Amino acid sequence: MINKIVDSVAAACTGIADGATILMGGFGGSGQPHELIDGLIAGSARDLTIVCNNAGNGETGIAALLKTGRVRKILCSFPRQADSHVFDGLYRSGKLELELVPQGNLAERIRAAGAGIGAFFTPTGFGTELAKGKETRMINGRQYVLEYPIHADVALVKAERADRWGNLVYRKAGRNFGPVMATAAKLTIAQVFDLVTLGELDPELVVTPGIYVKRVVRVDRQSERGRKAA
């Protein structure tokens, strides 16, 4: 019997190795898998490379992970935020390597990894600093830049609801990177607020089919309300 549901965040986060590359969903706080990131912090994995759109806000979530000093490198599109002081300090002191990636290239490089694409030509970034040193090609009169996939060891994803086969549905714009990240890692871990029995999710509306997901853990919605109030 396939049952991907684990009973704690700690169990969900076991086996994340030193040196791992980890995809983390979220656009700002929306869709950010806070509980799984807390689980990663509670573990011991270090020398990590993380891939996420933003580089953390305030002192929680990704910012708290960065603060542990266990992240070596971050790939992201928009680290600068009004309250990104943890990232700002580490970056300025040279303690954190940054690969700045245009947001659509970030999403597509992750998608390419999950879809078995070797590399792709994109017009985004052509003629800019962010394409420096990259192979380019003129195709049908337009200039493109060659970009490679971002494969990961682990993906941490926040969804709304799951069943024991790992089928996921998301909530509103909290979906953002979740569905593409779920496809691109060897170990995809999803946190959800609701667990339902097989058949309860409308198969027409499943966003991430369970084949991509290895572990599912239910977290308490109350903790999210508390965080947002704070």
Judged by beta carbon, residue 12 or residue 181, the one nearer another protein is 181
Q: For the beta carbon of residue 138, count every other beta carbon within 10 angstroms.
A: 10
Interatomic CA distance for residues 209 and 169, integer angstroms: 9
Per CB under 8 A, the segment of 61-69, 76-84, 187-195, 211-219 that binds another protein is 76-84
Among 49, 64, 219, 69, which Cα is nearest to 150's? 49
Among 14, 125, 23, 145, which Cα is nearest to 74's? 23
Per CB under 8 A, 91 contacts another protein: yes
Among 49, 54, 48, which Cα is nearest to 76's? 54
Backbone angles phi, psi at 80, to 5 degrees: -75, 120
Distance of closest approach, residue 19 Cβ to another protein, in angstroms: 25
Per CB under 8 A, 124 contacts another protein: yes
For residues 77 and 53, the answer to whether their CB atoms sit within 8 Å is yes
Per CB under 8 A, 212 contacts another protein: no
17, 42, 100, 139: which one contacts another protein (CB under 8 A)?
A: 100
Distance of closest approach, residue 171 Cβ to another protein, in angstroms: 5
Judged by beta carbon, residue 44 or residue 143, the one nearer another protein is 143
Interatomic CA distance for residues 159 and 175, integer angstroms: 7
Could you identify the residue written with the tokens 């245009």? 102
Distance of closest approach, residue 57 Cβ to another protein, in angstroms: 9
176, 188, 217, 219: which one contacts another protein (CB under 8 A)?
A: 176
Binding residues for another protein (CB under 8 A): 27-31, 53, 77-80, 84, 87-88, 91-92, 98, 100-108, 110-111, 122-130, 143, 170-180, 207, 228
